[in-house]
A = this chain, B = another copy of it.
């Protein structure tokens, strides 16, 4: 096979070679591709000369352990899906509501309660402020929903805050929105799971002690569920969403009927809950704090516009329907629960063991009745599904950021089922850490939440105003569109400022610290990738390969054995300047090595480096540096003899020094490392 070689091969390849190779690449009949392709029948299809398509067979595991792992993987996350099958994975409004609106709707499970937890500081009497505050928040919600309808129309391929902000306002605001959203997604998972567990512990009090563990288990389930892919996740959860809607509207209808007929039962707060003297009056600060706490109700509103591309065509229309449905359903539930809580005079449980909804249900239909269980279980399921929304959003946003080179490329990689595996893993781990850190308490987590959401809202809506302005000559009615989005931007901006200020000391500072750090990190990553891109860009004018000076080849040898000879043979086959180096930490060893080398008498010269301080790597590197100084232009090639044992468990018994040497050499300039493994036959 080996063609005659001449000295010229060390530098530019000759024109004869070039012509021959080009012909080959052209794919002439009878060229060497034909020979190469033949045996591939099972693993590859040939699409064009030099262009093969791998079949699923190349992924078949070999060996018992591999097959077992594959079986387990299939059982957990299902069969692999080919990239080209992706289009079939899209969803309609019915499932879309389950997967994208659940985040927002599920906020009704705790929004009322979080308002009450703030106003109750001013005494049980101040709880009357809950309903007016709810109404104020619903007004903001309606503005935001109207505003986002425009975003969906303007960005039918998916208009997340990052995209809209960077598209219209530039990369700074874009990264700010992205950082705010990433933080928010993590908090969505932590808060929703914590609230879901709280809904469960309201009916199963024995779970209360284990609430962190139960929460982490739910996150693990979401992880696996999402590796299965988008449509399946929706199937997994669609039914509980609709059960929740039916159950909660049943409860509200029944409650309103009782209220209208003046036959509401009497609620008795357990002793101690409402007896405490008011800590302060119901001033403006407390009202703003309660408003900020309740504005958690708006989280999840942006989910639909982020995920337009997940909908079936017509994407924008389907997404718009879901957004309107979501807004109306949520507003109704939120108002209804706040109304019933006020009418009954419910007091929030200071120990977080009973949710407000659980208390309302217990009062209206009786604690421990089947309907009470139904409300609590479907609430819990809905909240888990809300966390699932973040599992759809975070990985998608991270993959976009990865594609734009603001996050590591790995976030772009899609796993066996087309899910962004890395993003899903990162989200699950961060949310679990947060849940553990805050001991699973919703009220402790809430102050961190919402700041990020409203920053992203504001930037996105401001971006939309700019969007209409730049298109003022193309789009009819751009004025009222800009006004609508402007109203959204102002409303969410004001809320963002309120939330940032009143929640600052309670935990929002962490998020307000984290967001700039994340922006800085993404900016640094982007800068790095771009500078590398520039540095690696090819000079297209010259097809010649860079000229290489023949290297100085060094073979570290620990002793003279077949693995060593194998490496020496490889070294001799690629160069004439080959030196074997033996680092020795004891005199006996020096003598033995010298004797062995003399006895062998082979055609390679040996340098022995005695190391009185017993280090093995440092003398080798010092030697290479010293020879470099003698001739700095000549590159170094280090050929490493490595012994590969038959079983993986035997590996730690060998090659430890080679491994450390390899790591050090990797960072050494002008040095090529060649691994010559020697397998036992």
Contacts and interface: CB of A to CB of B under 8 A. Distances in A.
Interface of A: 1-5, 7, 9-10, 13, 17-18, 21-22, 24-25, 33, 35-36, 38-40, 43-44, 47, 50-54, 56-59, 80-84, 408-410, 413-416, 525, 528-529, 532, 535-538, 540, 543-550, 552, 560-563, 565-566, 568-570, 572-577, 585-586, 590, 594, 596, 599-615, 618-619, 621-623, 625-627, 629-631, 634, 642-645, 648, 650, 652-654, 656, 662, 666-681
Contacts of A642: 666
A666 B672 contact: no
29 contacts: A2-B576, A5-B7, A5-B576, A17-B576, A21-B604, A24-B605, A25-B605, A25-B606, A36-B607, A36-B626, A38-B630, A39-B629, A47-B610, A50-B607, A52-B608, A54-B613, A54-B619, A59-B615, A82-B613, A416-B614, A525-B653, A538-B600, A540-B599, A545-B568, A545-B603, A548-B570, A644-B666, A672-B676, A673-B675
B43 A630 contact: no
A673 B545 CA distance: 21
B675 A52 contact: no
A530 to B, nearest CB: 12
A626 B45 CA distance: 13
B532 A545 contact: no
- The interface residues of chain A, by DSSP majority, are classed as mixed
Contacts of A54: 609-613, 615, 618-619, 622
Instruction: State how many copies of this chain the complex holds.
Output: 2
B1 A577 contact: yes
A118 B47 CA distance: 82
A276 to B, nearest CB: 35
Nearest to A410: B656
B605 A21 contact: yes
Contact of A630 (B7, B35, B548, B675): B35
A399 to B, nearest CB: 13
Contacts of A532: 643, 645, 654, 680
Which 8 pairs show the lowest CB-CB distances between chains A and B?
Answer: A58-B622, A536-B561, A2-B550, A54-B619, A545-B569, A82-B612, A543-B601, A53-B610
A532 B525 CA distance: 47
B56 A613 contact: yes
B562 A537 contact: yes
A83 to B, nearest CB: 5
A603 B1 contact: no
Given A604-B21, A630-B35, A545 B572 contact: yes
A613 B416 contact: yes
Contacts of A56: 612-613
Contacts of A566: 546
Contact of A529 (B47, B561, B653): B653
A679 B528 CA distance: 14
Contacts of A563: 536
Given A54-B609, A54-B611, A630-B38, A43 B546 contact: no
Contacts of A13: 572, 603
Contacts of A550: 1-2, 573
Contacts of A549: 1
Nearest to A566: B546
Nearest to A560: B538
A626 B39 CA distance: 6
Contacts of A409: 653
Given A613-B82, A634-B1, A652-B408, A626 B44 contact: yes
A669 B680 contact: no
Contacts of A1: 549-550, 552, 577, 631, 634
A406 to B, nearest CB: 11
Given A58-B615, A549-B1, A83 B603 contact: no
A540 to B, nearest CB: 6
Contact of A565 (B33, B408, B546, B625): B546
A391 B627 CA distance: 42
A448 to B, nearest CB: 27
Given A603-B543, A607-B50, A622-B58, A10 B21 contact: no
Contact of A58 (B84, B594, B618): B618
